[in-house]
Amino acid sequence: MIAALWVTIAVAAPGSWAARGTLDTPVEAPFQQFTLPIGAYLAAKYPDLRDLRVLDGSGAEVPYARVASTAPEPPRSVPFVGFAGEPAAADLQFDTKGGLSGLKTAGQAGPKRGYLFSGDAVGDVVAVKVDLAEAEAGYQHVAVEASDDGTAWTTVVPDATLLRLTVDGQPLRRGTIELPPGPHRLLRVVWPEGKAAVAVGSIEVTVRFGGSGQPPMAWSGPVAGTRTAEGDVLVLPNTVRAEALRVGLKGANTLAPVTLSAWTNPGDPWRDLADGTVYQLRAQDRDWTNEPFSLAIPVHAVRLKANQGSLGDPPPTLELGVHPDRVIFVASGKGPYTLAVGQLDAPAVALAPNTLVPGYGYGDAPPIGAATATLDFPLTPSATPAPGTAAAIPKAWKLWGVLLVGVAMLGGMAASLAKRPKA
């Protein structure tokens, strides 16, 4: 049935693929699943990845489904409590909804080691944002630990950085800590041994629903933007569905307030996405950088414009980040299997997961093997066109063509009427 459906909808588009990758299937199974490499997003001609294919050893397409990486919920504040020493599970107090509400005072005297708060039992907590209190300033090193019962704690992030500082009148903030996949019932932010925790104003968690095992964000390789009179610009060969932009400054102790802009289609005007401060500071024997910018739209070009000061020389490097989708395919035909992507006019052929895999998501579903995909496609800058001109000329010619055709049709109608005999 699946094969018949696939034959009906899978019409191979002519031409070559922009990129091909290898698929390693170490365990034999009727279905195989892998995480899409970042290179697939960069090579795709369409941001919805409609031109993605899985090929068998003979080059024939095999049916596949994409399991989209779910978007995270907006960050939400959670109650938190400071603790000293090592509180026992019996010291934890919970509210009627299962959230951590407090600690018993016994054994909690002395400087705070860190702060305890609840995760979420339904979704994956993928990020924690710690906002240092207004009165606190400077650099802080912390670790994040997780527990299911409050007794055994596992370090999930061994070294994270928090920052609250003002330099040249610019507020510098860094408080977001990305967590590895997995539901975490209880979490705590812990300061290094022998160092007291500073005051915290708020703690927020970002939850991603859709089951455990969501892949962490993948990043492209860094490339330098092109310096123009309007700012540092990176134009991509294709429109890419990215979620975040990471900026790398080259000069030591560089800081500048910036505006991030982007456009999706050639010829579009620049669209401002965010204002912020980018920085590269050297302190405590390590480099401190700003958090990535969020991208609200698919991007064909991005621009960083310094509102004052300079972004240094050479121009900063830029990286695109995305939480990759997973792909399930039918292990039909003979291997080795190949991942192919990047073809204009390729139709969308991906099936729904529960159409491809009988009983998908339930215990009686057939086994799915864990495959590994490798596809290298570098983030290559394209030429930098002036916004509004790349597609404006073709559109203008199209309009003139329509007008000329209209005039010709009117002329033909007039001539036809003139030839008609008068009644």
Class of domain 219-322: mainly beta
Strand partners, 76: 205
pLDDT tier, 364 (very low <50, low <70, confident <90, very high otherwise): confident
Q: Is the pLDDT of residue 397 over 90?
A: no
pLDDT tier, 22 (very low <50, low <70, confident <90, very high otherwise): very high
Which one, of 67, 221, 206, lies nearest residue 127 by Cα? 206
- How does pLDDT run across 164-209, given as a tens digit for each residue? 988 878 888 899 999 887 778 889 999 998 899 999 999 998 887 7
Q: Is the pLDDT of residue 240 over 70?
A: yes
| H/E element, 328 | strand 326-330
Overall fold of domain 76-208: Jelly Rolls (2.60.120)
Radius of gyration of the chain (CA): 27
**Phi/psi of residue 345, each to 5°?**
65, 20
| pLDDT score of 388 | 47
pLDDT tier, 122 (very low <50, low <70, confident <90, very high otherwise): low
| pLDDT score of 333 | 83
Q: Are 97 and 185 in contact (CB under 8 A)?
A: no
Q: What is the DSSP string of 303-367?
A: EEEESSS---SSPPEEEEEE---EEEEE--S-S-EEEEE--TTPPP-PBPHHHHSTTTTSTTSPP
Q: Is the pLDDT of residue 404 over 50?
A: no
Average of per-residue pLDDT values in the chain:
82
Strand partners, 281: 288
Pick the more confident residue, 374 or 120.
374
- How does pLDDT run across 206-236, given as a tens digit for each residue? 887 765 556 788 999 999 889 888 899 999 9
- How does pLDDT run across 307-326, given as a tens digit for each residue? 887 788 888 999 999 989 99
pLDDT tier, 8 (very low <50, low <70, confident <90, very high otherwise): very low
Handedness of CA 146, 147, 153, 154 (dihedral sign): negative
Determine the Cα angle at 335 with ends 332 and 341, to 5°. 85
| pLDDT score of 274 | 94
| pLDDT score of 389 | 42
Lowest mean pLDDT among 21-35, 108-122, 213-227, 388-402: 388-402
- Sort strands 92-94 and 200-208 into parallel, antiparallel or unpaired: unpaired
Pick the more confident residue, 111 or 269.
269
- Cα distance between residue 385 and residue 267, in whole Å: 9
| pLDDT score of 192 | 93
User: Does the global pTM surpass 0.85?
Assistant: no
- Sort strands 31-35 and 368-370 into parallel, antiparallel or unpaired: parallel
Pick the more confident residue, 73 or 159.
159
Q: What share of the chain is helix, strand, coil (3-state, %, to 5)?
A: 10, 40, 45
pLDDT tier, 78 (very low <50, low <70, confident <90, very high otherwise): confident
Please count the other Cβ atoms lying within 10 Å of the Cβ belonging to residue 36: 25
Q: Which amino acid is at 31?
A: F
pLDDT tier, 418 (very low <50, low <70, confident <90, very high otherwise): very low
- How does pLDDT run across 335-355, given as a tens digit for each residue? 899 999 999 999 999 999 999
Q: How many percent of the chain have pLDDT more than 90?
A: 48
DSSP code of residue 212: S
Ranges in the chain annotated CATH 2.60.120: 76-208, 219-322
| pLDDT score of 126 | 85
Lowest mean pLDDT among 17-26, 149-158, 338-347, 378-387: 378-387
